[in-house]
Amino acid sequence: MLLYPAGFSFASLKSDLSKAMSQDGASQFQEVIRQELELSVKKELEKILTTASSHEFEHTKKDLDGFRKLFHRFLQEKGPSVDWGKIQRPPEDSIQPYEKIKARGLPDNISSVLNKLVVVKLNGGLGTSMGCKGPKSLIGVRNENTFLDLTVQQIEHLNKTYNTDVPLVLMNSFNTDEDTKKILQKYNHCRVKIYTFNQSRYPRINKESLLPVAKDVSYSGENTEAWYPPGHGDIYASFYNSGLLDTFIGEGKEYIFVSNIDNLGATVDLYILNHLMNPPNGKRCEFVMEVTNKTRADVKGGTLTQYEGKLRLVEIAQVPKAHVDEFKSVSKFKIFNTNNLWISLAAVKRLQEQNAIDMEIIVNAKTLDGGLNVIQLETAVGAAIKSFENSLGINVPRSRFLPVKTTSDLLLVMSNLYSLNAGSLTMSEKREFPTVPLVKLGSSFTKVQDYLRRFESIPDMLELDHLTVSGDVTFGKNVSLKGTVIIIANHGDRIDIPPGAVLENKIVSGNLRILDH
């Protein structure tokens, strides 16, 4: 199954053949073309491998072998759609409410349960979408603390509180590995063992010829854009290949808790872990996906369905166009994937060695700086749920999904809506309702540097429902925002919200300058 972004098409031989040939002789002819294309790609990859130094050779070979397998599947499989008629709502017992899991309480031996856990954070992304250089995990999000600082604080707190040895593992990409390793030295004295491994490095392919763009293994100079990390679905193979999987199994670890490092709500949950280790029916789950209720902001999120007798994650890119509105329906598909996942180490090892982890291919089209159109083949970690036995969804509170993708999200987590304790953010008790305000900051706030310059201090947002800011707007110290506040500076105008201002259910537009004198 291939996942294409909306509107995607590529003028490759593959699709041309499908349309141009009649069904009878076409499949045979297509097979010949496919084989020739695979042979051409194999030769190109072999050429690239000859440029690897002796210390690069082994891991480069593993990467290129992994790419070849993915490319082979890409050529074999057809169509972006799932069979919509086979999609069913999951059975009641396959998605458990968190409250039911929590109601079981915790055993006296919770420390020994915790010692079976490894925390894995997906740390392959850069901060470019927020105007920052280097790994996104090194952006300051709260009181000078970065995503990585908060993660280390959370796990250190666990280890100190329960006298345990829960390690932290970072899945880096070639984009983030070097900078991350430099920073890790500062945690040497923390009570957390930190390990890293790299996800694979795959070659981007020319959209027309479907051949790799890279000519050698380097990823600097002309080759900077020739390589990419192939999505977080690569975790299974990379974790296995790194040797860490076997190391942890040898140490008696049994589960990994995997989440995005920019999801500040993804903390270790003792109730879920206890449910995994001590299941009420005696049958352990190999894979648990945390889901949460959709709001109108989440209609594009992947959802759990029943498909051919198994739990399956369905993403919007898989949905036939005629059914997209139905997929987005909050009433029919009520939940979405948070990408907080609990996975059995033994099951990963078994499935990896059987080559039995099945994930849909995501076809991601890009245009390089020089104008060359390329595609990159990716997979997503949650899509593997259908390959595991006895999988389960747990419908968790929204507080476990607190991603920081934009400066609008950053404003929320920096504000007094949340309090920080041992690396964990919790909604302030002073907020009267549990929902998070809807915040939309305009393009003048996109980059973290610009965003910080526009706020002398973060406003009081305890009573805020909705904030929209557009244009050249700045905020003085100790501003308070309540209800619905919309501030729009038209092109050429500037609005300075004065220090100490209280805006409640206000629309501010036009031009408002505060001059020092």
CATH number at residue 224: 3.90.550.10
CA distance 449 to 451: 5
- DSSP assignment letter at 385: G
Last residue of a domain, one of 367, 398, 429: 398
Residues 327 and 426 in one domain: no
**429 in a domain, yes or no?**
yes
Last residue of a domain, one of 342, 374, 398: 398
Catalytic residue among 42, 405, 482, 506: 405
Contacts of residue 78, Cβ cutoff 8 Å, sequence gap at least 6: 2, 18
Residues 379 and 474 in one domain: no
Residues 449 and 414 in one domain: yes
Residues at the annotated binding site?
136, 199, 231-232, 262, 405
Residues 234 and 283 in one domain: yes
Tens of each residue's pLDDT in the chain, 517 residues: 555 555 544 444 455 545 544 555 667 778 888 899 999 999 999 999 999 999 999 999 999 999 999 999 999 876 655 788 888 888 888 999 999 999 999 999 999 999 999 999 999 999 988 999 999 999 999 989 999 999 999 999 999 999 999 999 999 999 999 999 999 999 999 999 999 999 999 999 999 999 999 989 988 777 889 999 999 999 999 999 999 999 999 999 999 999 999 999 999 999 999 999 999 988 999 999 999 998 877 877 889 998 888 899 988 878 888 888 888 887 778 899 999 999 999 999 999 999 999 998 988 899 998 899 999 999 999 999 999 999 999 999 999 999 999 999 999 999 999 999 999 999 999 999 888 999 999 999 999 999 999 999 999 999 999 999 999 999 999 999 999 999 999 888 999 999 999 999 999 987 765 544 3
∠ CA 132-134-139, nearest 5°, is 55
Q: Is 405 a catalytic residue?
A: yes
Residue-wise burial string across 292-308, b where 16 or more C-beta atoms lie within 10 A, e elsewhere: bebeeebbebbbbbebe
Residues 330 and 252 in one domain: yes
For 223, the domain range is 82-398
Residues at the annotated binding site for UTP?
136, 199, 231, 262, 405
Q: Provide the pLDDT for residue 15.
A: 54
Residues 476 and 386 in one domain: no
**16 in a domain, yes or no?**
no
Q: Provide the pLDDT for residue 2.
A: 57
Residues 265 and 210 in one domain: yes
Residues 122 and 151 in one domain: yes
Hey, how many other C-beta atoms are within 10 angstroms of the C-beta on 186? Answer: 11
Last residue of a domain, one of 370, 398, 426: 398
Residues 176 and 147 in one domain: yes
Residues 228 and 306 in one domain: yes
Q: Provide the pLDDT for residue 10.
A: 46
Q: Provide the pLDDT for residue 198.
A: 96
CATH number at residue 435: 2.160.10.10
Residues 379 and 450 in one domain: no
Residues 423 and 315 in one domain: no
Domain count, the chain: 2
Token duo for residue 16:
């041309």
**22 in a domain, yes or no?**
no
